[in-house]
Amino acid sequence: MRILLLVTAFNGLSQRTWCALREAGHEVGVLFATSEGDTIKGVAAAKPDLIICPFLKERVPARVWQRWRTVIIHPGPVGDRGPSSLDWAITEGARSWGVTALQAVEEMDAGPIWATRTFAVPDEPPRKSSLYGGPVADAALECVFEVVEKAQDPAFTPVPADQARPRPPMRQADRAFDWGDPTEQIVRKIRAADGAPGVRAELGGLPIFGYDAVPGLGRAGRPGQLLSRRQGAVLVGTGDGSVWLGHVRAADPSHGRAGIKLPATTLLGARLRGVPHSPLPPGAEPEHPAAYRQISYRRAGPVGWLTFDFYNGAMAPGHCRRLAAGLRHAAGQDTEVLVLRGGTDAFSNGIHLNVIEASPDPASAAWANIRAMNEVCREIIMCTRQVVIAAYAGSAGAGGVMLGLGADIVAARDGIVLNPYYDIGLYGSELHTFTLPRRVGPERAQQLLDDKVPLSCPAARAIGLVDEVGPRDPDAYGEWLQALAERESDGRTARNRRQQKARRLAAERVPLEVYEARELAEMSRDMYADRSGFARERHAFVRKVKPAATPPRLLFKGTAPRRRATVLRPAVPVSA
């Protein structure tokens, strides 16, 4: 079928839907709903057999849904209506939730039903973004394929929806809490608003919107008191304990960093004078969430596990330095295998654009960030004491994809999406000119960088970007990954892999430093001379500026506007 995805943005669910439908043999295009007039013209030009809206905040124009079958993927069960479905579900502690595919009609979320799925909500309140990217996305994809199958059946008629009353949008008054409230209640409310819009509160005398909440250990101060800080987060007293707050956004429009979500310590700055840095409490389990560790290392026999989980996959210089130090520590152990596992929500999305945008000197901040990222990549590439497995448990983009490509084995969780390219006015570094061609070949490497389209795990494995693909369920993936690591830890197998890697590195005629120097020379022009619009693109990304048009590469072939010829980027260097 010729299927058009009508979207507000090409988010993770839209990308996953695009990949899956294409791999199923369908012709798929994307159209951003930038305005009613442009949407009507864009759909008319596309001439689709079916329109699916996996992520759409705007109303579908009547001239579209009256002429073309248009199905909305709504993140709520049958009978649920309104724009804050997941917010209400998490806040009210729903034990089960669902996704419904509804035909577009005049009234929002009121059309006849094409498909529906339900799923259990975790006992511990999940972040809204985690719920959306996990169970909601899985259920949505099942609904999408059922819709496509039914759309090809001339006898199918969707089921009329019950006339349920729509729930109102959740307002800040509904989300409000007091620091004297129980920890569980505060965490639930913040997670129901993560990653947008956050919950308004006051912290250190500053009005903020809070995100990234984790329960603390025990009670140590009065409600609202800043008790300690660690790895960018602050510990705040509550009515019955404490809560770690990892990210905040200034609520005062006059604040110099208003509108930018930042690590809590970055925004609070001098307000943290006298607030102590917090080591782990004695006897605390390193992987216990209340310990608030973004990076942890544990050893299980011959396998070392270095786990990291950075909010939204963004890596500021401090994140990079800590991860590089963790890699050096892990590489110094007498293990056979080192597993580098990222978070389930995101493996990595590269440098921290929000921190760069908020800096008084963004160019220098970006330069420091990419140098720190490269240090992590170098540790992975040059590790020959262990077999290195880079475990992509979550999706990755740009430099975050390139981060683990120097590992001996790249093992991805099924259903994640990889975006192995740079699309924000940067040439890119992360030593990708060394690692990417060695995985997929120089021509394919250049194609990935130029095409700028997402890849599913099967597609990535087919071209060698990924070596192994494990189960979609996070727990099952963890068990599968453990079995893989134990298999690779066999003494002879591990020794052969290490020796092969050492020989390959020794045979390189061009030192790794040369590849980095070439990349940084290009990056310096992007960061300091702004030759490709990095400042503009970064600002638009951080401030969530709505795109003016659909990127031509996502349109159906033949519907893209004519463009001026562009100068191709330098070829990916393989050798001097």
* pLDDT of res. 217: 81
The reported pLDDT for the residue numbered 169 is 95
Query: Is 76:170 a contact under the CB 8 Å cutoff?
Result: no
Q: Do residue 314 and residue 377 come from a single domain?
A: yes
pLDDT at res. 293: 87
* Same domain membership, residue 230 and residue 329: no
Please give the pLDDT value at position 564: 36
Q: Is residue 301 part of a domain?
A: yes
85 and 146, same domain (yes or no): yes
* 264, part of any domain: yes
Q: Indicate the residue type of 477.
A: Y
Q: Is 0.85 surpassed by the pTM of this model?
A: yes
Q: Angle at Cα 52 formed by Cα 51 and Cα 55, nearest 5°?
A: 135
Residue 546 covered by a domain: no
- Cα–Cα distance for residue pair 9/287, rounded to 1 Å: 35
Co-location of 229 and 364 in the same domain: no
- Report pLDDT digits (tens) over 514-557: 999 999 999 999 999 999 999 999 999 999 998 999 999 999 97
Nearest by Cα to 104 from 145, 144, 53, 142: 53
Structure confidence at residue 109 (pLDDT):
77
- The residue among 521, 549, 570 that closes a domain is 521
Q: Are residues 205 and 81 in the same domain?
A: no
- Domain CATH for 205: 3.10.25.10
User: What pLDDT is attached to residue 567?
Assistant: 33
Same domain, 301 and 268: no
314 and 439 housed in the same domain: yes
* CATH number of the domain encompassing residue 480: 3.90.226.10
**For position 97, what pLDDT does the model report?**
98
* Whether residues 333 and 370 fall in one domain: yes
Supply 10's token pair. 């090409």
Are 260 and 320 part of one and the same domain?
no
Rounded Cα distance, 329 and 383, in Å: 11
Domain boundary residue among 272, 307, 324? 272
Domain co-membership, 501 together with 446: yes
Domain count, the chain: 3
Residue 378 is inside which H or E element, if any? Answer: helix 362-382
Q: Are 161 and 78 a contacting pair, CB within 8 Å?
A: yes
**CB-based contacts of 321: which residues, under 8 Å, 6+ apart?**
372, 375
Is 573 within the bounds of a domain? no
Q: Which of 304, 418, 410 is nearest to 350 (CA)?
A: 418
Predicted confidence at residue 422, as pLDDT, reads 97
- Together in a domain, 146 and 246: no
Find the domain containing 437 and state its range. 293-521
Q: Is residue 283 part of a domain?
A: no
Asked if the structure places residue 548 within a domain, the reply is no
Residue ending a domain, choose from 111, 133, 151: 151
Per-residue pLDDT of the chain (576 residues; tens, 9 = 90+): 999 999 999 999 999 999 999 999 999 999 999 999 999 999 999 999 999 999 999 999 999 999 999 999 999 999 899 999 999 999 999 999 999 999 999 888 789 999 999 999 999 999 999 999 999 999 999 999 999 999 999 999 999 987 667 889 999 999 999 999 999 999 999 999 998 999 999 999 999 999 999 999 877 789 999 999 999 999 999 999 999 999 999 998 888 888 899 999 999 999 999 999 876 654 455 555 556 889 999 999 999 999 999 999 999 999 999 999 999 999 999 999 999 999 999 999 999 999 999 999 999 999 999 999 999 999 999 999 999 999 999 999 999 999 999 999 999 999 999 999 999 999 999 999 999 999 999 999 999 999 999 999 999 999 999 999 999 999 999 999 999 999 999 999 999 999 999 999 999 999 999 999 999 999 999 999 999 999 999 999 999 998 999 999 999 975 544 333 333 344 444 433
CA separation for the pair 44, 36 (Å, rounded)? 12
CATH code, domain carrying 120: 3.40.50.170
Which two structure tokens, joined as six digits, stand for 508? 């390189």
3-state helix, strand, coil in the chain (%, to 5): 40, 20, 40
Specify whether the CB–CB gap between 459 and 15 falls below 8 A: no
The CA distance from 259 to 48, in Å, is 38
Q: Are residues 14 and 138 in the same domain?
A: yes
- DSSP string over 162-184: P-PPPPPPPPHHHH---TTS-HH
Has residue 143 been placed in a domain? yes
d(CA 243, CA 203): 12
535 lies in a domain?
no
> What is the token pair recorded at 480?
């599968």
Residues 367 and 244: their CA atoms lie apart, in Å, by 30
Query: How far, CA to CA in Å, does 224 sit from each of 180, 191, 217, 266, 399?
Result: 7, 18, 15, 18, 37
